[in-house]
Amino acid sequence: MRQYELVDRVKRYNPDADEALLNRAYVYAMKAHGAQKRASGDPYFSHPLEVAAILTDLHLDDSTIVAAMLHDTIEDTATTREEIDQLFGHEIATLVEGLTKLKRLDLVSMRAAQAENLRKLLLAISEDVRVLLVKLADRLHNMRTLHFMPAEKRGRVAQETLDIYAPLAGRMGMQDMRDELEELAFKELMPEAHETIVHRLSDISGRSEKLIFEIEAALSRSMEAQGVRAVVKGRLKKPYSVWRKMNAKSIALEQLSDIFGFRVIVNDTTECYRALGVVHTSWPMVPGRFKDYISVPKQNDYRSLHTTVVGPARQRVELQIRTDEMHKIAELGIAAHALYKDGLAPDKRGLAAESSAFAWLRRTIANLAEGDPEEFLENTKLELFHDQVFCFTPKGRLIALPRGATPIDFAYAVHTELGNGMVGCKINGRLAPLVSELRNGDEVEVLSTQSQTPPAAWESLVVTGKARAAIRRASRIAVRRQYGGLGRQLVERAFQRAKRAYSDDNLKAALPRLARASVEDVLAAVGRGEMASSDVLRALYPDYHGERAHIVSEPPPKDPGWFSFPKSLGLIFKPAAAPGKTQPLSDVPVIGLDADVPVRFAEGGAVPGDRIVGIATPGEGVTVYRIDSPELARFENALDQWFDVRWDVDGKNARRFPARIIVVSINEPGSLAQVAAVVAEHDGNIENITMTRRTDDFVEMTIDISVWDLKHLTAILAQLRGKPVVNSAERAHG
């Protein structure tokens, strides 16, 4: 590129350009670099000149073009900042100095905790976004000439480009810049993948040539027929973005819509919606794919309507509808705002106000810069290193995560509450599984509800310490809440039995005596069995010495389908617990369990003399089974639920226990009365009877009785078997 060529380029978009200034910079930089050579063997000056040329493509102002030409002078030549100040003025000198600072920062070697350097870098950019624009152009030219570099350096530069500069360009809305940086880095880093995809893309587009033309023509015709003036153009997707999509979703390249998109460019915003109407009335839309980035622009100022329709040949067709200006911003991003206006250099404050992308940049930097240095370092490490990904919230907040992070990590990184309440997520606008691995640049939307406890299993789905700790904490709290609820029940019950008033406030006053920090702690301790409810009672009422009251349960409720024995038969009903019903707490006299754990008998009951075992069920307490109960098979694989329990009865606290027997008798009038009479004669209480007809000749009675012990029960069974009407009398299983 010659001197006059550069000036020509600038004058083409800015007729009022300061030609003399541009010429002075050209000559100055050429002389400063002198005989320096690039790795390609070209004179070094060709590099700053090309960088300036790239910026003319972005239609940037004189100061930026001049700064680009001078960007390597302070670092690589004898030039000083003062000299540039004198020759080119303060504005340009500041830009060049900012670029010099960036050049000195070797981003990849930042593993050595040079957080301060990065902070400076970001601050330099935030002071004047044109520094970033020149830096990106500089990187782009270096990437274009990467093949001249020593092989060992190439990979590092390409990786850095992919990790830092390309996403940064994308974030600034500079899609063209991003695409080219990615393409060059992709080719360097994964030459085989690159070649395969390029080949495949040209293969499919070659085969689809006719179809693409058809779609373009059909769209244009429909637009014209409806009076919408539009330019329709097909465009092949970029290899790197295709590769990324294939990688992320493990999809195959099959459809045209996987590799090809169409753009409809119209004159104004209203036309965009009219064009959309034409598209949707011509072809059926694919539900869930329509996006209105005009009424809600993306954070980087991107505006367009997106939709997917089922086009001719039943192919999916992706469309973007936008105006010329939207198109310019979509491709140039923040640079589009830096365009010349009325021959005046853009005021950077004006630029900031105009561009939400720039506002985003400032905010990101503010986020990174606040907080203590260590935290800042942590953030910067996460953001910059290769083994990190950085993702964005729908509002454009940057969330840095280690590679391998999932949307769950993301949610917790945003806010602990968001993580706890997470129920789903969208990645780049599409619903995605929570186990998805996040990629650089992903936009993640967390779907959440309030008051949720994260499943403990999530712990294995996250990679960040923050998420893991939060999940653990949340499940600890949930368990505590559960124990707390049980504890409260136990405590309230104990107070009720003792006929004393209970309130949280009273308990609060007694906390020191219980050596616990909070009411919740006490209740959870009782729920876990670490503390007895009677201890709580005594802590509040030191004068209380009463024994634990023995609770006699109410007669069982009359379940439909259960036959309640009529009193007219002369049988005595005494209140006692029915098998299968929840027993009064601690009314099951067994030892081997903590005080205050709720205990109940299994459905079939158990009586002293039976060999028994306790099975603990979370949240329900312990159920006592007979050792020969077939039900126990269900718990064979959960031996930690088994508790060795023994009867705790002696002559003094004798009481009755539930048992269920099954009697088969001859089906004749009066057989029930005879059976009942035998039980009553032998001091067994009948609680319930259900009768089922087995055959015409026999009926089966399931009888819940209460007895003193196994000996008593065995005696009753023997008496029953001795009756002529009784065919068989057995203990029920379980």
Compute the chain's Rg from CA coordinates: 40
Q: Which is nearer to Mn ion, 46 or 282 (CB)?
A: 46
Q: Which is nearer to Mn ion, 143 or 659 (CB)?
A: 143
Would you list the DSSP string of 636-685? TT-GGGEE--EE---STT---EEEEEEEEEE-STTHHHHHHHHHHHTTPE
Report which of 578, 625, 630, 628 is spatially closest to residue 602, judged by C-alpha positions.
625
**From the CB of 120, what's the least distance to Mn ion, in Å?**
18
Report which of 324, 381, 409, 370 is spatially closest to residue 108, judged by C-alpha positions.
381
In a 3-state reduction of DSSP, which class is residue 428? Answer: coil
d(CA 251, CA 236): 17
Contact between 603 and Mn ion by CB under 5 A: the answer reads no
The window from 28-36, 66-74, 171-179, 284-292 that contacts Mn ion (CB under 5 A) reads: 66-74
**From the CB of 72, what's the least distance to Mn ion, in Å?**
5
**From the CB of 138, what's the least distance to Mn ion, in Å?**
4
**From the CB of 179, what's the least distance to Mn ion, in Å?**
21
**From the CB of 34, what's the least distance to Mn ion, in Å?**
16
Q: Which is nearer to Mn ion, 138 or 587 (CB)?
A: 138
Whose CB is nearest to Mn ion? 138
**From the CB of 129, what's the least distance to Mn ion, in Å?**
18
Binding mask 126-165 for Mn ion (x = CB under 5 A): ------------x---------------------------
Describe the chain by its helix, strand, coil percentages, rounded to 5: 50, 15, 35
Six-digit token pair at 83?
């000299």
The window from 1-9, 70-78, 311-319, 393-401 that contacts Mn ion (CB under 5 A) reads: 70-78
CB within 8 A of 266, min separation 6: which ones?
A: 228, 229, 230, 231, 272, 274, 275, 321, 322, 323
The window from 65-73, 260-268, 619-627, 674-682 that contacts Mn ion (CB under 5 A) reads: 65-73
How many residues bind to Mn ion according to rule CB under 5 A?
A: 2
Say which of 5, 18, 57, 76 is annotated catalytic. Answer: 76
Q: Which is nearer to Mn ion, 138 or 331 (CB)?
A: 138
d(CA 100, CA 565): 98
The window from 72-80, 219-227, 366-374, 541-549 that contacts Mn ion (CB under 5 A) reads: 72-80
**From the CB of 48, what's the least distance to Mn ion, in Å?**
7
In a 3-state reduction of DSSP, which class is residue 56? Answer: helix
Q: Order of strands, edge to edge, in the sheet holding 291-292?
A: 230-236, 260-266, 316-323, 305-310, 291-292
Q: Which is nearer to Mn ion, 76 or 631 (CB)?
A: 76
**From the CB of 47, what's the least distance to Mn ion, in Å?**
6
Contact pick of 72, 188, 535, 610 for Mn ion (by CB under 5 A): 72
Q: Which is nearer to Mn ion, 72 or 179 (CB)?
A: 72
Report the C-alpha dihedral over residues 526, 531, 534, 540, rounded to 10 degrees: -90
Please report, as residue ranges, which positions from 327 to 366 form the binding site for Mn ion (by CB under 5 A).
none
d(CA 650, CA 652): 6
CB within 8 A of 463, min separation 6: which ones?
A: 401, 402, 404, 405, 406, 409
Q: Which is nearer to Mn ion, 70 or 391 (CB)?
A: 70
Please report, as residue ranges, which positions from 312 to 331 form the binding site for Mn ion (by CB under 5 A).
none
Q: Which is nearer to Mn ion, 71 or 194 (CB)?
A: 71
Q: Which is nearer to Mn ion, 96 or 309 (CB)?
A: 96
CB within 8 A of 253, min separation 6: which ones?
A: 197, 200, 201, 204, 242, 246, 259
The reply to whether 75 belongs to the active site is yes
d(CA 378, CA 391): 16
Report which of 651, 629, 657, 659 is spatially closest to residue 642, judged by C-alpha positions.
629
The window from 68-76, 356-364, 553-561, 656-664 that contacts Mn ion (CB under 5 A) reads: 68-76
- Amino acid symbol at 595: A
The reply to whether 82 belongs to the active site is no
Binding mask 519-538 for Mn ion (x = CB under 5 A): --------------------
Say which of 75, 85, 459, 631 is annotated catalytic. Answer: 75
d(CA 449, CA 532): 37
> How crowded is the C-beta side of 188, counted as CA atoms within 13 Å?
27
**Beta-strand relationship, 621-626 and 599-601:** parallel
**From the CB of 108, what's the least distance to Mn ion, in Å?**
16
Residues that bind Mn ion (CB under 5 A): 72, 138
Active-site residue numbers? 75-76
